[in-house]
């Protein structure tokens, strides 16, 4: 019997391959959403959907990889072939982001992402199973159990390295005239994929390779269809299991293996709920972080960097669980069952979402008040150098001081309702002389919307209201301040107007507000700039120094810079805070990340171990593919819930997911209580002594096993 207690050399090569592949994949995925939004110019919602669809494909393709491995090529050739597809996708991604090449970047990126998804998806069910079958069971069962922890540790170590290093490479280098370098950001993961293929191919002489002699997937499908058909035809007969109806035509061993697989797949049906919670780290939790203050000890943590906490915590916690927690559980005879560990892991995910919901309730107290159904809101900004009295149907009379803002909140309106306002001003308003004191203005309220009217004057020195675009309170995904410029231009004395922001660090952004009309409101779209203090300079073709002033932009703030020109001079400039900057520190997300990391270790590691050890030898890759398929369904579930928009409060949605996972784990435990664990058979590839020489058992020779 094979009694070696050391790790097979083949396993080391496989673990090195997995590290490089995870580095490549997580590095690419970390900067993907920013690439979609900032370079391909998709909206944040569209980028989120593309991100989750990409994830879905990554976890759907494992079914194809399993079929190739178990029925056609074997695991070694399947891993090698899908790795090459993966590499081609990496190369196309690098080509897509080079702006000087004559190509359609959206089409090229789509093709690249599809190939990357197919490549990594095809690998997923094969690598863990290929590494696990290098051990000799049951003699090396303890090593096998450690392998799954080491394998999961490697996944997170590679992911952590990719998530940290790739964004740094993208940000620290400029290329092709841009302030970042996406070609390098995507090129480095490509280099890691080349390294992964080299590690894998160089280890070939150490691998125990099996080439399937039977198309087990085809037999699986044929047997299932035949059994179902016979069950309908022979309804008067009663068998213990529906697959027993296929005994006349199919081998008893195949039927027994299929029963085991269906028992495992049945247990997988509740699992997508867990993954629907887990994968929200890259979407809902990141958006939550964008509403928080990332300033820590003089450094700034941007929201998408918070995802690094999960793999970092997993790296620390796995050794603690393996060396301290689980041995302690073994001594008191608890959590020895992998299904029990998975259930407790699911409950920890629920606790993580309760923590996220509580944090969201705190954050909601800092959010701007939005109009409810059949109501709208209106900001009135007085850009004149005197106080105004506004007679209105809401509070009858409202005084708005010079340079100030007043908000009519939650006023009744049905879709779109127009109200009349009477504005009264003194005849002498600063340097302005009015011919009359009372002016009529109209205010339009739109349901669910916050609009703004700027009170200024026209070229004839009469009070006029200028309506801006609705305020967009949405925080940027990076947490950077958002600002728009509203410029009231009332003469032809200025042309080619520009507003320039220059930070104390030398960063400069310029925005041009040129227009030919002599009386108009010029507005810019919302723009994002890094937080900090900026010198604002206003210039025109006629005057290069019209106005200068310093402004401070804080993380998460939404600002409107209102400028009014009068007779060729800048008469009014003021920065208005439409949405307060983030005030809750981003480190308050650590508790929910800790809980989800514990959940991942207990659920993920135990799930992989269960998938391999309980599956029949001929169908191990299929069961692991089913495991990954549950992740794809979980991503689909997130997309559906997001599109349904059932809750106005994000906190309530988090609490809903927490309740859902508790109910889901209760169902899972009920199903698990009825599952009968199969005992590990002696590994057919174990050496046995015959005439003093080690040989392989006949079954392995028939399956095409080669041991180097």
What 3 state SS string does 418-445 have? EEEEEEECCCEECCEECCCCEEEEEEEE
User: Residue 18: pLDDT above 60?
Assistant: yes
Bigger pLDDT: 694 or 93?
93
Is 42 within a domain?
yes
User: Residue 364: pLDDT above 70?
Assistant: yes
Residue 63 and residue 81 share a domain = yes
Residue 515's pLDDT is what?
A: 63
Residue 6's pLDDT is what?
A: 67
User: Residue 695: pLDDT above 60?
Assistant: no
Residue 685's pLDDT is what?
A: 36
Residue 305's pLDDT is what?
A: 76
Contact (CB, 8 A) for 385 and 566:
no
Contact (CB, 8 A) for 275 and 661:
no
Residue 384's pLDDT is what?
A: 95
Buried b (16+ CB within 10 A) or exposed e, 90-129: bbbbbbbbbeeeeeebeebbbbbbbbbbbbbbbbbbbbbb
User: Residue 355: pLDDT above 70?
Assistant: yes
Residue 59's pLDDT is what?
A: 85
Residue 653 and residue 594 share a domain = yes
Lowest mean pLDDT among 71-85, 450-464, 501-515: 501-515
d(CA 425, CA 437): 5
User: Which band of pLDDT confidence, cut at 50, 70 and 90, is reported for residue 137?
Assistant: low
Bigger pLDDT: 677 or 386?
386
User: Which band of pLDDT confidence, cut at 50, 70 and 90, is reported for residue 53?
Assistant: confident
Is 224 within a domain?
no
| pLDDT tens readout for residues 448-507 | 899 999 999 988 889 999 999 888 887 776 678 999 999 998 888 888 888 999 988 777
d(CA 464, CA 344): 65
Where does a domain end: 549, 581, 613?
581
d(CA 477, CA 479): 6
Percent of the chain with pLDDT over 70: 92
Lowest mean pLDDT among 78-87, 278-287, 652-661: 278-287
Contact (CB, 8 A) for 631 and 600:
no
Q: How many CB atoms lie within 10 A of CB 233?
A: 10
Is 462 within a domain?
no
Length of the chain: 708
Bigger pLDDT: 361 or 523?
361
User: Which band of pLDDT confidence, cut at 50, 70 and 90, is reported for residue 596?
Assistant: very high
Highest mean pLDDT among 23-37, 223-237, 400-414: 400-414
User: Which band of pLDDT confidence, cut at 50, 70 and 90, is reported for residue 182?
Assistant: confident
Bigger pLDDT: 241 or 357?
357
User: Residue 378: pLDDT above 60?
Assistant: yes
d(CA 130, CA 74): 9
Residue 3's pLDDT is what?
A: 41
User: Residue 8: pLDDT above 80?
Assistant: no
Residue 518's pLDDT is what?
A: 62
Tally of structural domains, the chain: 4
d(CA 563, CA 576): 11
Buried b (16+ CB within 10 A) or exposed e, 189-208: bbebbebbbebbeebeebbb
Q: What is the CATH number of the domain that holds 82?
A: 1.20.1250.20
Instruction: Choose among 272, 292, 373, 317: nearest CA to 628.
Output: 272
User: Residue 2: pLDDT above 60?
Assistant: no
Residue 576's pLDDT is what?
A: 95
* Alpha helices in 97-175, H assignment, sequence order: 105-132, 141-172
Highest mean pLDDT among 98-107, 123-132, 420-429: 420-429
User: Residue 702: pLDDT above 80?
Assistant: no
User: Residue 698: pLDDT above 60?
Assistant: no
| pLDDT tens readout for residues 410-428 | 999 988 899 999 999 999 9
Contact (CB, 8 A) for 493 and 567:
yes
Is 2 within a domain?
no
Residue 673 and residue 555 share a domain = no
Residue 477's pLDDT is what?
A: 66
Residue 438's pLDDT is what?
A: 92
Write phi, then psi, for 596 (nearest 5 degrees): -70, -30
User: Residue 205: pLDDT above 80?
Assistant: yes
Residue 551 and residue 449 share a domain = no
Bigger pLDDT: 161 or 523?
161
User: Residue 4: pLDDT above 70?
Assistant: no
Residue 396 and residue 517 share a domain = no
Residue 371 and residue 337 share a domain = no
DSSP letter at 447?
Answer: T
User: Which band of pLDDT confidence, cut at 50, 70 and 90, is reported for residue 693?
Assistant: very low
| pLDDT tens readout for residues 636-665 | 888 788 777 788 888 999 999 999 999 999
Where does a domain end: 416, 433, 457?
457
| pLDDT tens readout for residues 545-575 | 889 999 999 988 999 999 999 888 899 999 9
Start-to-end CA distance of the chain, whole Å, equals 17
Is 535 within a domain?
yes
Mean pLDDT on 617-633: 78
Contact (CB, 8 A) for 243 and 255:
yes
User: Which band of pLDDT confidence, cut at 50, 70 and 90, is reported for residue 687?
Assistant: very low
Residue 555 and residue 658 share a domain = no
Residue 359's pLDDT is what?
A: 97
Residue 689's pLDDT is what?
A: 29
Residue 553 and residue 422 share a domain = no
Residue 179's pLDDT is what?
A: 66
Is 634 within a domain?
no
DSSP letter at 279?
Answer: G
User: Which band of pLDDT confidence, cut at 50, 70 and 90, is reported for residue 514?
Assistant: low
Residue 180 and residue 31 share a domain = yes
Percent of the chain with pLDDT over 90: 35
d(CA 60, CA 648): 31
Lowest mean pLDDT among 388-392, 477-481, 664-668: 477-481
Is 407 within a domain?
yes
Residue 119's pLDDT is what?
A: 94
User: Residue 296: pLDDT above 90?
Assistant: no
Residue 631's pLDDT is what?
A: 83
d(CA 345, CA 154): 20
- Domain around 492: 472-581
Residue 186 and residue 59 share a domain = yes
Q: What's the alpha-carbon Rg for the chain, to the nearest Å?
A: 32
Where does a domain end: 434, 457, 480?
457
Residue 160 and residue 84 share a domain = yes
104's tokens: 């359609």
Mean pLDDT value across the chain: 84
Is 545 within a domain?
yes
Enumerate residues 6+ apart whose C-beta is below 8 A from 146.
322
Residue 118's pLDDT is what?
A: 94
Residue 45's pLDDT is what?
A: 65
d(CA 362, CA 422): 40
Bigger pLDDT: 20 or 646?
20
- For tokens 């409060």, the residue is 649
Residue 33 and residue 156 share a domain = yes
Q: What is the CATH number of the domain that holds 408?
A: 2.60.40.1120
Q: In this structure, are strands 558-566 and 482-489 parallel, antiparallel, or unpaired?
A: parallel
User: Which band of pLDDT confidence, cut at 50, 70 and 90, is reported for residue 683?
Assistant: very low
User: Residue 160: pLDDT above 60?
Assistant: yes
């Amino acid at each position: 019997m094979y009694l070696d207690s050391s790790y097979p050399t083949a396993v080391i090569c496989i673990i090195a391959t997995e590290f490089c592949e995870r580095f490549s994949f997580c590095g690419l995925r970390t900067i993907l959403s920013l690439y979609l939004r900032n370079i391909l110019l998709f909206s944040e919602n569209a980028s989120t959907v593309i991100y989750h669809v990409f994830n879905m494909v990554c976890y759907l393709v494992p079914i194809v990889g399993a079929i190739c491995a178990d029925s056609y090529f074997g695991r070694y050739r399947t891993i090698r072939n899908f790795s090459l597809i993966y590499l081609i996708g990496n190369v196309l991604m690098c080509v897509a982001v080079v702006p000087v090449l004559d190509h359609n970047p959206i089409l090229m990126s789509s093709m690249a992402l599809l190939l990357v998804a197919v490549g990594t998806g095809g690998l997923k069910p094969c690598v863990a199973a290929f590494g696990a079958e290098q051990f000799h069971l049951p003699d090396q069962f303890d090593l096998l159990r450690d392998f799954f922890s080491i394998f999961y540790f490697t996944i997170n170590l590679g992911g952590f390295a990719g998530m940290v290093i790739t964004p740094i490479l993208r940000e620290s280098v400029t290329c092709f005239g841009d302030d970042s370098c996406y070609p390098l950001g995507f090129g480095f993961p490509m280099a890691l994929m080349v390294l992964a293929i080299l590690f894998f191919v160089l280890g070939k002489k150490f691998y125990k390779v099996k080439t399937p002699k039977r198309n087990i997937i085809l037999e699986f499908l044929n047997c299932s269809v035949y059994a179902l058909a016979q069950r309908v035809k022979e309804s008067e007969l009663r068998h213990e299991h529906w697959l027993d109806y296929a005994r006349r035509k199919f081998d008893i061993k195949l039927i027994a293996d299929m029963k085991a697989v269906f028992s495992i797949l049945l247990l997988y049906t509740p699992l997508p709920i867990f993954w629907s919670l887990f994968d929200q780290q890259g979407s809902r939790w990141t958006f939550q972080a964008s509403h928080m203050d990332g300033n820590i000890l003089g450094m700034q943590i941007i929201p998408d960097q918070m995802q690094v906490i999960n793999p970092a915590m997993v790296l620390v916690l796995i050794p603690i669980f393996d060396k301290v927690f689980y041995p302690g559980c073994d001594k008191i005879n608890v959590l020895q069952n992998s299904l029990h560990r998975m259930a407790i892991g699911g409950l920890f995910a629920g606790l993580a979402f309760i923590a996220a919901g509580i944090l969201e309730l705190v954050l909601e107290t800092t959010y701007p008040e939005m109009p409810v159904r059949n109501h709208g809101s209106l900001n009135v900004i007085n850009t004149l150098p005197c106080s105004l009295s506004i007679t209105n149907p809401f509070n009858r009379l409202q005084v708005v001081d010079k340079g100030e803002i007043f908000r009519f909140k939650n006023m009744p309106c049905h879709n779109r309702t127009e109200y009349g306002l009477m504005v009264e001003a003194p005849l002498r308003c600063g340097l302005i002389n009015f011919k009359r004191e009372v002016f009529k203005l109209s205010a339009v309220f739109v349901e669910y919307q916050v609009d703004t009217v700027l009170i200024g004057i026209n070229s004839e020195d009469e009070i006029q209201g200028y309506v801006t675009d609705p305020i967009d309170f949405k925080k940027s995904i990076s947490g950077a301040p958002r600002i728009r410029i509203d410029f009231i231009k009332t003469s032809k004395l200025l042309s080619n107007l520009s507003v320039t922001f220059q930070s104390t660090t030398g960063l400069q952004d310029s925005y041009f507000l040129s227009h030919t009309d002599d009386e108009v409101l010029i507005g810019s779209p919302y723009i994002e700039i890094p937080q900090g203090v900026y010198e604002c300079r206003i210039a025109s073709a006629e005057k290069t120094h019209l106005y200068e002033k310093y402004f401070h932009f804080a993380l998460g703030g939404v600002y409107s810079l209102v400028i009014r020109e009068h007779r060729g001079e800048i008469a009014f400039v003021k920065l208005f805070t439409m949405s307060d900057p983030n005030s809750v520190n981003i480190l308050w997300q650590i508790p929910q990340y800790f809980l989800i990391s514990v959940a991942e270790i207990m659920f993920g590691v135990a799930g992989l171990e269960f998938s391999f050890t309980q599956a029949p030898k001929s169908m191990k890759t299929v069961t692991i593919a089913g495991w990954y398929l549950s992740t794809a369904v979980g991503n689909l579930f997130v997309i559906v819930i997001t599109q349904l928009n059932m809750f106005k409060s994000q906190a309530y949605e988090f609490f809903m997911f927490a309740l859902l996972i508790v109910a889901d784990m209760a169902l899972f435990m009920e199903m698990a209580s009825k599952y009968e664990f199969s005992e590990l058979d002696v590994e057919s590839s174990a050496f046995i002594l015959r005439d003093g020489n080690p040989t392989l058992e006949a079954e392995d020779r028939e399956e095409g096993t080669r041991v180097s």
